[in-house]
Amino acid sequence: MNRTYQMMSAGIGAVALGTVSALDPKTAQLMSHDFPIGICMCGLTTARPQAGDPDIPCPNGQPQGGIFYLDLTLGYIIVADGQGGWRNPSSGASI
């Protein structure tokens, strides 16, 4: 599965400080000088990390608790609860 990552510029390269961009892993690596601050994985609700994804740690068969994901459908960051669910990190409500 191809992941995209929300990255932020530190202003030390050619990109203005605070510029945010969703980059695929290869582009993120190539542009690491311009976008050195990794925020989190990102994508639509249907692309949330899930059990069985080869690039996601799943110690109990579910995505590890504490994985942050910018859900572009919802428009905000959510966090894996380690039990197969996703939660709003501000309120703890199930998403």
What's the rounded Cα separation, in Å, for the pair 86 and 12?
34
Give one word for 46, left, alpha or beta, with left for phi > 0 and alpha for psi -120 to 50. alpha
- Give pLDDT tens digits for 41-52: 999 999 999 988
pTM for the model: 0.87
- Give pLDDT tens digits for 39-82: 999 999 999 999 888 888 888 889 999 999 999 999 999 999 99
User: Given this model, what pLDDT does residue 54 score?
Assistant: 84
